[in-house]
Structure 1
Amino acid sequence: MTAAAGSMTEPHVLAHAKRRLFPDDEDRRGYAVVDTQFGQERWIADEPIDPAIRETLAPFNHIRVGTGYPDLVGVRTLDDEWLAADRLGDDPPLVAIEAKGRTEGGRVDVERGVVQAYDRLHEANAAYVAAPTPAISQSARTLASELNVGVLGVDADGVVEPIERPRVVGNCTTSETDAIRFQASAQGVADRSFSLNHPKNYLAYPLAVYHRQDTESVVAQRVVGAVEGARQGAEFLDLVDVTPTRTELTPLGREVVRFALREYGSADAALDAFDDWKGSRRRFCDAAPRWGQLARRVVYAYPATQLLVEEIQHMHEDGVETPTLVELVTYLHELHPSLTVELFVRGTDDVRSRVLGPDGELRTEPLSTGETYHSPTVFQLKAMLYHAGILTDRGAEPSNLDPETDVWALRDPV
């Protein structure tokens, strides 16, 4: 093994592998998290982890796949060079990666990584071990081939090559892996999801798509100036399907149009009503009750809403009638740890490292600080749940948020 290759620890190996298999691109949706153990400042003895490496590895979460916690879990459509056969169906595969690098004893245990990766195939579609190329022996390659585990050779300069390519397999899903699949989907919670805090802006977008005039012009002139925000939110609420060449109505989006035509007779007449609501501070379900009921249906169809409503209802049944944000997140993390982190906690390495310990344990002290939280959830999504008549209180920007007094209560608990 060369000195340069031998100097690579697991964080370095994993960072190179993540850059290659999960690059930052908008053309092909994907999402990956790295295990919380990599969020620590040091890896071997007194050797600090380069901040640039930690930034590459972020966001961190503790996702159980199989009987353990892979170093990386992600969902993305992979290029043919990484796989031995075509993927199953149209959905991108869930991928697990185990990284092996220099330990304090100087050994790189690639074969152990192969066995660990094989365990992940109970719930992952493809599993890999990533290691310094000179450390990958023929015996490790043979074992990986027999177990259908991919092998990624990593050079010190960051070049990653597929030495063994796995076949994509079917799997079972769990609430843990579902959290990552959700994040990688068009409805996952991301910084590009909800930028507007009123559901009217998203409900109007299908009408603009249906309208005979240019969609963007109709939205800008008659609904809201933030056209891109309206489009993104409509997509995340599954009202429109956006492709590089066109935007089409989904079944739910078509139902919004049908409702508008039934109520108003034409798209133009319906859009006139939206123009009247510009700048209104009234709760939408009170200002426009029938539209409010439709908004409730649309927002409730968003998967995160269903989880929140059910668990807040359970808290109410347990006597916690007006849970604060801190109480809600603490409660949810006990039941749905992975999804709770993805839904509420910002994905930057510094925030996740403060909130989660090396083994994924939740540290409650950082939950009292507004900057810990993901704005699309605590501001925009919560505001929409308020306007739809589901929650009692509006959302707030993290900079203006007091998590210990911010109430997440149902307007109509059962």
Structure 2
Amino acid sequence: MGSAVSLSEPRVLAHAKHRLFPDIDGSNAYAVTDTQFATDEWLSDRPIDEELRSRLTPFNHVRVGSGYPDLVGVGALESDLLAVDRLGDDPPLVAVEAKGHTATAAADVERGVIQAYDRLHEANAAYVAAPVDAVSQSDRTLARELNVGVLGVHEDGGVAALEVPRVVGNRTSNEAAAIRFQATAQGVAEKSFGLNHPKNYLGYALALYHPADTRDVLTTHVVGAVDGAKRGASFLGLVDERPDRAVLTPLGEEVVRFAVNRYASVETALEAFDDWKRSRKRFITVAPQWGLLTRRVLWQYPATQLLVEELQTMFDDGIAAPSLVDLVEWLHVHHPTFTVELFIRGTGGVRERVLDADGELRRSELADGAVFHSPTVFQLKAMLYHAGVVAERGAEPHRLDPTTDSWALREPLHAR
């Protein structure tokens, strides 16, 4: 086998990931590697070094079809990777199966083609990635017949598209939908929320509509962290960030209409924000109507409804004040992929600690506040607190005790 043994499955997958998603930090792109690769060794004898693991991160265990692909991602692929440019306006959901050489056997490409084909029940495009010298003509013929793409990986890391698939319009499962969600402007990232009071995001929508300079207006009346307010407003779906400017979405326009209806002008509405600078009081208490508006805006954010529904179900089952650990464990049973993406950081080796090779949670690791996404456990929870949804505000991860951090609903419904 010679030096080709170096093209192990993890390394093949890393090269394929880079070929498919070279700008993973760009807009509308996100990909996760299966948790079986979040290990120190591959096949018990070949180490996965830190550099390789960092290229494969983040990790999650995402069910697509009847199994768990080695890689699941969403992104606008380069034209030479697909038989058609796109399907509709959304980038395709892609599943990848990787096959690599071992010390005793060559990559089983045919098996990879069959596995990738199974993913087409729910993915828009599926690929098998393998060392180029292992791909036979019969493998390519089978892949072509099954509409599976073939990525041939060279020893130097180059990747050739030997067969390109057609994009299909299959239904996306709830688990795979969590990955598609992460590729949108509302997907949870370390910088999705930088501010923990909802007034800053509502205020950005008003300042954007105001005829004067947005930055000056926001700094004068709301908050000096203009970029953070803009990013959070985009995250909540109040504004759409385009290459040349930000524009109000229909939801953002409703915030403006509310302000004009209540104050007669946006300028007068913004003057009211002066009174709330640096306020730590619950927003729905000091400004009830704005608090209710915040609640409606937060309800449009996809995670809010799921969180409230599951917290209510926990209450119905006798868990009135679940800790953060309780909540994450509960959610992971019913919505594993979404739970990991919403709560667990994807950087710094965190998911390697929290998830085992089968994607199950290691409960002991959840006691460390540092494993959690700050935008969820601090900023989002703080906004749910200000909107009157949960009883307690959020805490920064370094100050967080997940075993006592309460996620109780402020107004749970009692059984009738």
The two structures have a TM-score, normalised by structure 2, of 0.97
Aligned equivalents of 2:263 and 2:53: distance in 1? Answer: 54
Within a 5 Å distance, the mapping from 1:154-193 to structure 2 comes to 154-193=153-192
Aligned equivalents of 2:189 and 2:384: distance in 1? Answer: 18
Report the CA distance shift for 1:321/1:284 in structure 2 as closer, same or farther (over 3 A): same
Aligned equivalents of 2:73 and 2:289: distance in 1? Answer: 40
- Once the two structures are superposed, residues 264-308 of structure 1 have per-residue CA deviations (whole angstroms, 9 ceiling, x without a partner) of 111110111112110111100001000000000001110001110
Aligned equivalents of 1:72 and 1:25: distance in 2? Answer: 13
SS of residue paired to 2:240: strand
Code of the residue aligned with 1:280 in structure 2: it is S
Aligned equivalents of 1:42 and 1:225: distance in 2? Answer: 48
Residue 5 of structure 1 is matched in structure 2 by 4
- Once the two structures are superposed, residues 53-88 of structure 1 have per-residue CA deviations (whole angstroms, 9 ceiling, x without a partner) of 101101111001011100000111111011011211
- Residue ranges of structure 2 left out of the alignment (5+ in a row): none
Code of the residue aligned with 2:290 in structure 1: it is W
Aligned equivalents of 1:164 and 1:4: distance in 2? Answer: 25
- Alignment of 1:87 onto 2:86: yes
- Once the two structures are superposed, residues 193-245 of structure 1 have per-residue CA deviations (whole angstroms, 9 ceiling, x without a partner) of 11100000000111111110121222222211111110111001100111101
> 1:157, CA displacement in angstroms?
1.4
Aligned equivalents of 1:104 and 1:349: distance in 2? Answer: 31
SS of residue paired to 1:130: strand
SS of residue paired to 1:77: coil
Aligned equivalents of 2:26 and 2:310: distance in 1? Answer: 35
Aligned equivalents of 2:24 and 2:107: distance in 1? Answer: 32
Residue 23 of structure 2 is matched in structure 1 by 24
Q: Which moved more, 1:43-52 or 1:388-397?
A: 43-52
Within a 5 Å distance, the mapping from 1:15-414 to structure 2 comes to 15-24=14-23, 26-348=25-347, 350-414=349-413
**Do 2:27 and 2:184's aligned partners in 1 also have CA atoms closer than 8 Å?**
no
Aligned equivalents of 1:169 and 1:337: distance in 2? Answer: 26
SS of residue paired to 1:78: coil
SS of residue paired to 1:122: coil
**Do 1:240 and 1:250's aligned partners in 2 also have CA atoms closer than 8 Å?**
yes
Code of the residue aligned with 1:346 in structure 2: it is R
CA RMSD, Structure 1 to Structure 2 (Å): 1.1
SS of residue paired to 1:128: strand
**Do 1:54 and 1:349's aligned partners in 2 also have CA atoms closer than 8 Å?**
no
> 1:351, CA displacement in angstroms?
1.2
SS of residue paired to 1:91: coil
- Once the two structures are superposed, residues 137-185 of structure 1 have per-residue CA deviations (whole angstroms, 9 ceiling, x without a partner) of 1111111111100011111211111111100001112111111111111
Code of the residue aligned with 1:132 in structure 2: it is P
SS of residue paired to 2:349: helix
**Do 2:344 and 2:371's aligned partners in 1 also have CA atoms closer than 8 Å?**
yes
Code of the residue aligned with 2:42 in structure 1: it is W
**Do 2:332 and 2:340's aligned partners in 1 also have CA atoms closer than 8 Å?**
yes
SS of residue paired to 2:120: helix
Report the CA distance shift for 1:25/1:57 in structure 2 as closer, same or farther (over 3 A): closer
**Do 1:39 and 1:349's aligned partners in 2 also have CA atoms closer than 8 Å?**
no
> 1:28, CA displacement in angstroms?
3.4
**Do 2:96 and 2:127's aligned partners in 1 also have CA atoms closer than 8 Å?**
yes
Aligned equivalents of 2:75 and 2:3: distance in 1? Answer: 30
Code of the residue aligned with 2:406 in structure 1: it is V
> 1:27, CA displacement in angstroms?
4.4
The two structures have a TM-score, normalised by structure 1, of 0.98
Aligned equivalents of 2:274 and 2:301: distance in 1? Answer: 25
Q: Give the share of equivalent positions with the same residue, in percent.
A: 65
> 1:25, CA displacement in angstroms?
5.1
Q: Which moved more, 1:23-32 or 1:273-282?
A: 23-32
> 1:109, CA displacement in angstroms?
0.5
